[in-house]
Structure 1
Amino acid sequence: MPALPDDDDWLLEEQRSIGDRIRVTRLHADRTQESVFLAANIARSTYQAIEAGTVDARIGTLLRIARVLGVHVTDLLHG
């Protein structure tokens, strides 16, 4: 089994990728950030940080976002 890196750079890259996929999906759905975070019952700052890829989002939050955007959560995780 390969050794895992000591730093969390890979984690930050993944968070940014997920945030990018959320933003692209939101824009494709012609939704504003506000319409998504309100419908998903998420704080504005939390949603913005998720899209920016600066936080480690909880699965429940990602599930709510996916539901509002009309996609499966795996679409946000794997693109």
Structure 2
Amino acid sequence: MQELPDDDAWITDRRRVIGARIRAERERQNLTQEQVILAGRIDRVTIWRVETGQETTLSTLLKIARVLDVPLPDLVQ
């Protein structure tokens, strides 16, 4: 078992990495944020928050993964 660090900075770093992966995959597929917003039925602020590494929900990540047709573990590993 791995112990947690004394602070939560690693969580912020991890969220940024996940957001960057999502943005990179969206751009690789030549999709705009607007297309993901419409297909995933999520709002504009939400996709921005995800791609910039801010707090989000598992449901939102699942929607984005489905729209991008990428398994969620590939985006968050």
* TM-score with structure 2 setting the length: 0.91
Unaligned runs of at least 5 residues, structure 1:
none
Code of the residue aligned with 2:74 in structure 1: it is D
1:4 CA drift (Å) = 1.7
Report the equivalent of 1:39.
39
Report the equivalent of 1:26.
26
Report the equivalent of 1:76.
75
Report the equivalent of 2:59.
60
Query: Per the alignment, in what secondary structure is the counterpart of residue 4 of structure 1?
Result: coil
Report the equivalent of 1:14.
14
Which 4+ stretches in 1 moved above 6 angstroms? none
How many residues in Structure 1 have an aligned counterpart in Structure 2?
77
* TM-score with structure 1 setting the length: 0.89
1:6 CA drift (Å) = 2.4
State the alpha-carbon separation in 2 of the partners of residues 39 and 59 from structure 1: 17
1:2 CA drift (Å) = 4.7
Query: Per the alignment, in what secondary structure is the counterpart of residue 23 of structure 1?
Result: helix
